[in-house]
Amino acid sequence: GQQVMQIPQYQHVQEGEDFTTYCNSSTTLSNIQWYKQRPGGHPVFLIQLVKSGEVKKQKRLTFQFGEAKKNSSLHITATQTTDVGTYFCADPMNRDDKIIFGKGTRLHILP
């Protein structure tokens, strides 16, 4: 079935370093969503990208949607301990509100 693949699965970075997670699809996506789940918490919606080549920023977070709409990335500049958690990309499948989540990238921050 349709899937979105995320890499890496885990990432450890020193506090202050940058972090990037990537999301890839074998098929063209209508749009893509990103969620963050803090340890012990629940997934929380961050953003949705719709247009080919779209770039959106939220403070230190930069989200990109590929030109072919088959990949996306989330980049965090100068990570902080509050960035710890798992970041999921998700494919809204354009029907019935069903969303397919990637496996997520778990970010650990080393102090």
Partner 1 sequence: DAGVIQSPRHEVTEMGQEVTLRCKPISGHNSLFWYRQTMMRGLELLIYFNNNVPIDDSGMPEDRFSAKMPNASFSTLKIQPSEPRDSAVYFCASTRQGTYNEQFFGPGTRLTVL
- Regarding 19 and contact with partner 1 (CB under 8 A), the answer is no
- Regarding 30 and contact with partner 1 (CB under 8 A), the answer is yes
- Per-residue binding string, partner 1, 38-77, x by CB under 8 A, is ---xxxxx--x-x---------------------------
Nearest-approach distance from CB 25 to partner 1, in angstroms: 15
- By three-state DSSP, how is residue 81 classified? helix
- Per-residue binding string, partner 1, 71-100, x by CB under 8 A, is -----------------x---x-xxxxxxx
Distance CA 69, CA 24 (A): 9
Q: Return the residue of 23, 71, 104, 109 that touches partner 1, per CB under 8 A.
A: 104
Distances (CA, A) of 56 to 41, 44, 70, 95, 98: 25, 17, 17, 25, 24
Q: Which amino acid is at 96?
A: D
Distance CA 85, CA 81 (A): 9
CA angle 95, 67, 24 (to 5 degrees): 60
Q: Which residues bind partner 1 (CB under 8 A)?
A: 30-31, 33, 41-45, 48, 50, 88, 92, 94-101, 103-104
